[in-house]
Amino acid sequence: MKILYGIQGTGNGHLARARALVPALRNQGIDIDFVFSGRPEKEYFDMEIFGDNCRFFDGLTFVTEQGRLKKFKTLIHNNVIRFIKNLSELNTTEYDLVISDFEPVTAWSARVKKVPSIGISHQCAFDFSVPKVPGHYPEQLIMRYFAPTHHRVGLHWHHFNYPIFPPIIKTNEARPTIANKILVYMGFEPLDDIISFVSGFSEYEFHIYAKVSEQQSLGHVTIHPLNHDNFHRDLTDAAGVISNAGFELSSECIALGKKLLIKPLNGQYEQMCNALALQKLKRATIIDSFDQRILTQWLEGTPHKPVTYPKVSDAIAKWIKSGHWSDTQSLVAQLWQGMPEAGIQGKLNSPLEIDAIY
């Protein structure tokens, strides 16, 4: 079986999910080529796992400034003619299947050329009534049609009584927690604002990952260049994580039992919905500005219990290999039934009737 795997390159969450899924696909004997879009090729890092069969396209992306999504600049930045040219350059007909993790070039190419396609992403979970902020109807349409596929696999922290899969995450071996160590990754915020936010708390060690060329030490604040292995090494023994509301990092933190302080990207619909879900599931403290009073309370708070998610990557890889792509109900039920009763703290405060998984 030969597949084309399209990965959205805006942010690093889609890449992290692919790093967990790709080995499972290869273990099924599946041959994989890759397409990445959403940022310049030179800005990708630690890409060895994907091998040499990779192509990079401009695709479609989002423009952010000062921690806020700039909708008008996003609109004018995305060149429709260039996107159509991307589609013409990509031949999806030579593949048995196209997988798209919210990547539009592969998804639309497969749709136009009638190649079977599967969307595997957190965005696909928004097909259902998961926690959502009200309004934002244009953003909801974009989420649905940005990367349309024949079959859709949605991922979320809870099933919310819908056929939604648990997160796909790479299992990190936990290390003894360093009580005063805090990991910070806020890729959409100005670095100076982040440093100012945490610099007054000298009894804690803050490890900030950002787009810098070399490591910098500012006393109890250390700024690290982006590096996949180093980041996850710091994640495994940190007491807590401060971040934007990306899905993949939050999933890893829930699995490891790391407390979360979340500042959703202002104006970004998915992140605002993620923050709402985390708050309802009592897995994060949410801020809309760099409020040091809330940071003080959060730092003094207690850790969370880890959640043992199943090996979703192995299950999805076997399902893809089987070719029975229209049937997800039985697999979803099997995955959630395998979870321990102890897990996410509290139940969702909504009209949905959540069962006793947690």
User: Full-prediction pTM beyond 0.85?
Assistant: yes
| Whole-angstrom distance, CA of residue 285 vs CA of residue 250 | 12
Helix (H/G/I), strand (E/B), else coil: 165: strand
Separation of alpha carbons 325 and 320, rounded Å: 7
Can you tell me the distance from the alpha carbon of 87 to that of 111, in angstroms, rounded to the nearest whole number?
Answer: 11
Pair type for strands 221-225 and 205-210: parallel
Distance of CA 234 to the CA centre of its chain: 18
- Count CA atoms closer than 13 A to 340's CA, side-chain side: 10
Q: For 149-228, list the strands marked E by DSSP.
A: 151-154, 178-185, 205-210, 216-218, 221-225
Residue 327 per-residue DSSP state: -
Contact 156, 164 (CB under 8 A): yes
* 170 Cβ contact list (under 8 Å, min separation 6): 16, 19, 20, 232, 252
Q: 91, 72 in Cβ contact below 8 A?
A: no
- Contact in structure between 42 and 67 (CB atoms under 8 Å): no
Q: Are 239 and 258 in contact (CB under 8 A)?
A: yes
Q: How far apart are CA 79 and CA 145, in angstroms?
A: 17
- What is the mean pLDDT, run by run of 10 residues, along the chain of 358 residues? 95 93 98 94 94 88 55 55 84 97 95 97 96 90 91 96 94 84 95 97 98 96 96 96 96 95 91 95 95 97 91 96 92 84 35 30
Q: List CB contacts of 349: < 8 A, sequence separation 6 or more.
A: 280
| pLDDT of amino acid 266 | 85
Question: Residue 249 in contact with residue 185, Cβ under 8 Å?
Answer: yes
Residue whose C-alpha is closest to residue 261's, from 202, 153, 349, 183: 183
Most distant CA atoms of the chain, gap in Å: 58
Q: Which of 337, 10, 11, 21 is nearest to 171 (CA)?
A: 21
The number of residues making up the chain comes to: 358
Q: Which domains are assigned to the chain?
A: 2-168+310-337 (3.40.50.2000), 178-299 (3.40.50.2000)
HSE on the CB side for 46, CA within 13 Å?
A: 13
Q: Which residue has the tokens 């003080």?
A: 296
